[in-house]
Amino acid sequence: MRHHTKDKGDEGLGQVIADLMTSGVHVAVPLSEHLPFDLVAISEAGAMRRVQVRYRTSLDTAHVRCHLGTSWADRNGTHKRAFDASSIDALAIYCPSPRTFAYLLANELNASYVNLRFSKAKNGQIKRTRDASEYRDPWRIFAPVTGVGEAATSIGTVAEARPHSSADRAAAF
């Protein structure tokens, strides 16, 4: 019997790895599934970020909502675990339709969910909305992370972390 949600998680992980590598970010995948992060993103400068990946579909193509806690059921009942932002440095959300990637720093997350808009709200609301286009650059995960966990380190601004050209990327390795 196939585990449908596991398949979606694997697809999301594969898509995010491809997006990161296409952008010049190196990726390491841990051997264990029982860690709070799904991959480690590595910049050319050697900075490493623990990234949790989430696969989420958009019900109306206008926004995507990503609940951050986890839940599961087993023979002992249904269980829930609250989200702990200090266990990761960044969250990557993959939405297949419209095909979108969003990269959020751990200090940009609240305890329960993330809501990103793909288009402007019909009622014109701007306050307390997040435009998904502001989170599409994978290099933003290397921006300084503050106030979340001791393991997070800073290498400077996103512009300093991003390689300047494909020649720079090739020369780095």
The enclosing domain of 17 has a CATH number of: 3.40.1350.10
> What's the predicted TM-score (pTM) here?
0.79
Give the domain range for residue 51.
Answer: 4-172
One pLDDT digit (tens) per residue for the chain, 173 residues: 566 778 898 999 999 999 999 999 999 999 998 899 999 999 999 999 999 999 999 878 788 989 898 888 889 999 988 889 999 999 999 999 889 999 999 999 987 889 899 888 888 888 878 999 999 999 999 997 665 444 444 434 444 555 555 555 444 44
User: How many structural domains comprise the chain?
Assistant: 1
SS3 of the chain: the string is: CCCHHHHHHHHHHHHHHHHHHHCCCEEECCCCCCCCCCEEEECCCCCEEEEEEEECCCCCCCEEEEECCEEEEECCEEEEECCCHHHCCEEEEEEECCEEEEEEEHHHCCCCEEEEECCCCCCCCCCCCCEHHHHCCHHHHHCCCCCCCCCCCCCCCHHHHCCCCHHHHHHHC
